[in-house]
Amino acid sequence: MTSTNLLDKVLALSLLVTADMQRFEQEHKVTTPRIHLLWTLGAAGPSTQRSLADALEVTPRNITGLVDGLVTSGHVTREPHPTDRRATHVTLTEVGAALVSDLRSSHAALAAQLFGDLDDGRLADFGGALDETIARFVRLMETGS
Amino acid sequence: MTSTNLLDKVLALSLLVTADMQRFEQEHKVTTPRIHLLWTLGAAGPSTQRSLADALEVTPRNITGLVDGLVTSGHVTREPHPTDRRATHVTLTEVGAALVSDLRSSHAALAAQLFGDLDDGRLADFGGALDETIARFVRLMETGS
DNA sequence: TATTGTTATACTCTATAACTATA
DNA sequence: TATAGTTATAGAGTATAACAATA
């Protein structure tokens, strides 16, 4: 067992997580960037496109396109901003809110299926290993080593 | 520490891994799908576009586009297939082979920076935790539970 | 002057369908 | 008849730059 083996395991796990996300997206016929926008909206409430651009780290132009698509699919609406007539309030519809709710349930169900049978000690062991790996990654990416 | 907390940690780690990949791609001005193709080519040697389509799980049409881009950027060439005149042998150039080699080095360097200081016991602990998480994921995705 | 969001333009990834050349 | 790869067409995500309306 080498450090490279360990990194390969991390990558393998990352691929599995991604694959599981894609399953949800295909079932609900929504793309990854749009899910990301809906999720952000679910956490923050009605938001300007500018604030969504900052949150998703994409350009405002890109948000225009994502919101266009989500308006067409019935997940969000553009409402007038209460105080700033330049801005719009992107708002979840019932359909959009239901999808976010589904996403939360699905996440909790996956967690229960994966780890629900573990006792507290095992949970703590796994969590500790992941915490330390995450901390190492963050340190490396922030400081360069 | 709940099962949902643990899944959140897995997701957080997955995001960090992805972010690190993107750093490499931006440095080398190559996109994720093209890196994937180059990596496959590095492992398999000169390949037909058909076999690349199977390996990357995309359509043959898509491979045409990726190879077009990589020919333009000088990372691969299209060579005649030795025995089948319908097919082409996509082949790494020196530049392409150097990039794959960089990717391997970068991967090993990241592993060393992240985990190089761990003793065998810690490596085994981390690996065991990841192995079990991976095994649970795989079982879940294959059998539905 | 600065900010919000849009139109204009362009590139990449992705897909399906129809077609050519070859097997 | 089947296979390898292309052209044709389309949609989604991404970016920069120029612009209109509003602050």
pLDDT tens per residue across all 145 residues of chain A: 899 999 999 999 999 999 899 999 999 999 999 999 999 999 999 999 999 999 999 999 999 999 999 999 999 999 999 999 999 999 999 999 999 999 999 999 999 998 999 999 999 998 998 999 999 999 998 886 5
Cβ-based neighbours of A46, under 8 Å, separated by 6 or more: A79, A89, A90, A91, A92
The token pair that represents A19 in the structure block: 């694959």
Judge: A140–B114 Cβ closer than 8 Å, yes or no: yes
Q: Are A128 and B5 in contact (CB under 8 A)?
A: no
C-beta atoms surrounding A114 within 10 Å: 20
Note the strand D nucleotides within 7 A of protein beta carbons: 3-8, 12-18, 21-23
- pLDDT score of B36 more than 70: yes
The token pair that represents B31 in the structure block: 């996109």
CA angle B27, B31, B34 (to 5 degrees): 120
- pLDDT at residue number A36: 98
- Residue A129 φ/ψ, nearest 5 degrees: -65, -45
CA distances for B58 relative to A9, A17, B53, B77, B93, angstroms: 24, 20, 5, 20, 23
**Contacts of residue A114 in chain B, CB cutoff 8 Å?**
3, 6-7, 133, 136-137, 140
Q: B interface mutation test: which of A114, A125, A131, A143 has the most B CBs within 10 A?
A: A114
- pLDDT score of B113 more than 60: yes
- pLDDT at residue number B142: 85
Q: pLDDT above 90 covers what percent of chain B?
A: 90
Strand partners, A92: A76
Tell me which residue of A37, A30, A54 sits closest to A90, measured CA to CA. Answer: A37
Residue A5 C-alpha, separation from nearest chain B C-alpha, in angstroms: 8
Judge: A114–B145 Cβ closer than 8 Å, yes or no: no
pLDDT in tens, B62-76: 999 999 999 999 999
- pLDDT at residue number A80: 97
Q: What is the average per-residue pLDDT within B121-139?
A: 92
Spanning CA of A87 to C1' of D20, the rounded length in angstroms is 13
Q: What is the pTM of this model?
A: 0.93
Residue with token string 């909206």: A41
Spanning CA of B45 to C1' of C18, the rounded length in angstroms is 32
CA distances for A59 relative to A62, A86, A92, angstroms: 5, 17, 21
The token pair that represents A65 in the structure block: 């396109």
User: Does B140 or B59 have the greater pLDDT score?
Assistant: B59
- pLDDT at residue number A145: 55
**Contacts of residue B113 in chain A, CB cutoff 8 Å?**
140, 145
Rounded Cα distance between B135 and A114, Å, is: 10
Of B12, B129, B137, nearest to A129 by CB-CB distance is B129
N residues, chain A: 145
**Parallel, antiparallel, or unpaired: how do β-strands A76-80 and A88-92 relate?**
antiparallel
Dihedral, CA atoms, B115, A139, B28, A66, nearest 10 degrees?
120
- pLDDT at residue number B131: 94
